Amino acid sequence: MKPRDRLRIAMQKSGRLTEPALDVLKRCGLTFRQSRDKLFCFGEGEPVDLLLVRDDDIPGLIAQGVCDLGIVGRNVLDEFKGVAGDAAAALTEWRPLGFGRCRLSIAVPQDVDYTVPKDLDGLRIATSYPGLLGQWLRRNEVDAAVVTLAGSVEIAPKLGTADAICDLVQSGGTLVANQLRETDVLLQSEAVLAGPDTLPTDERGDMIELLLKRLDGVIQVRE
Ligand code: PRT
Ligand code: ZN
């Protein structure tokens, strides 16, 4: 791949993390000119550009070296690390960013008896996070079937395609609306700055160090 002298950060194009991610970068002193196709934002002051993509693509773009850093939910990063194996082993969380907080949880229909994970033995669990769910099932020695769905996980029990779900929860309102009860938290998540665990040795590495220093100031001011 052609060496780059500008830093490239991947972030969500349009979704829950977009505005707070732009805000935190702005408070680090970075400003951008958005291109017409809105996929690429050129950094005006510092040599730092943005690539605007679906959040699910962010860990892969960093692992492939297409981007140097990414702002992404821990849930997406850890799921990628769990399923992508070696390619993702060197990805790390550089900083937690304090927004996009949510948790990945198991939930069961309100009328189902549930006390311990073993109660899920023999059941079907719908999720968009088969890697993280699989790890948790193995850790708890639960023999359940994982039903992978891209979306609308919370209606699977009502549709009869699953007996329980494993999905992101924030206020809990979606679970209540679907007569589901949260039973176990698998992961506490928030947006993180992700990158390779060793910094590039060129100017981009220096720029990352500068950005991390500024981020620490921004995060401290917030706390
Ligand atoms: O298009 P793209 O793939 O980029 O976007 P997306 O639809 O996959 O992601 P998006 O914008 O919905 O979420 C981006 C990230 O925000 C997630 O990966 C999480 O890290 C974080 N986040 C924080 C959430 C929530 N809170 C959240 N509540 N992501 C999703 N939800 C959904 C959840 O899936 C469930 O359907 O909201 C519902 C639950 O919310 P409550 O408040 O009813 O509990
Ligand atoms: Zn997504």
Together in a domain, 115 and 84: no
Q: What is the ipTM of this complex?
A: 0.99
Residue 80 included in any domain = yes
- What mean pLDDT is predicted for residues 119-141? 98
Question: What is the per-residue pLDDT for 1?
Answer: 60
Together in a domain, 120 and 154: yes
Confidence bin at 4 (pLDDT 50/70/90): confident
Q: Whose CA is nearest to atom 20 of ligand 1?
A: 73
Residue 1 included in any domain = no
**Among 56, 74, 102, residue to substitute to test ligand 1 (most atoms within 8 Å of Cβ):** 102
pLDDT in tens, 42-59: 999 999 999 999 999 999
Residue 116 included in any domain = yes
Together in a domain, 208 and 179: no
46 secondary structure, DSSP code: S
Residue 2 included in any domain = no
Q: What is the largest CA-CA distance in the chain?
A: 58
- What mean pLDDT is predicted for residues 204-210? 95
**Among 12, 13, 16, 186, residue to substitute to test ligand 1 (most atoms within 8 Å of Cβ):** 16
Together in a domain, 118 and 147: yes
Number of structural domains found in the chain = 2
Domain hosting residue 107, numbered range: 102-188
Average pLDDT of the chain is 94
- What mean pLDDT is predicted for residues 123-135? 97
Q: Report pTM.
A: 0.96
Say which CATH number the domain at 52 has.
3.40.190.10
Together in a domain, 44 and 88: yes
Together in a domain, 107 and 177: yes
Residue 117 included in any domain = yes
Phi and psi angles of residue 194, each rounded to the nearest 5 degrees, phi first:
-110, 150
Distance 196 CA to ligand 2 centre (A): 21
Q: Rounded CA gap, 50 and 26, in Å?
A: 12
Residue 86 included in any domain = yes
Question: What is the per-residue pLDDT for 36?
Answer: 66
Q: What share of the chain is helix, strand, coil (3-state, %, to 5)?
A: 35, 30, 35
Q: Whose CA is nearest to atom 9 of ligand 1?
A: 15
Together in a domain, 94 and 128: no
pLDDT in tens, 82-115: 877 766 668 999 999 999 999 999 999 999 999 9
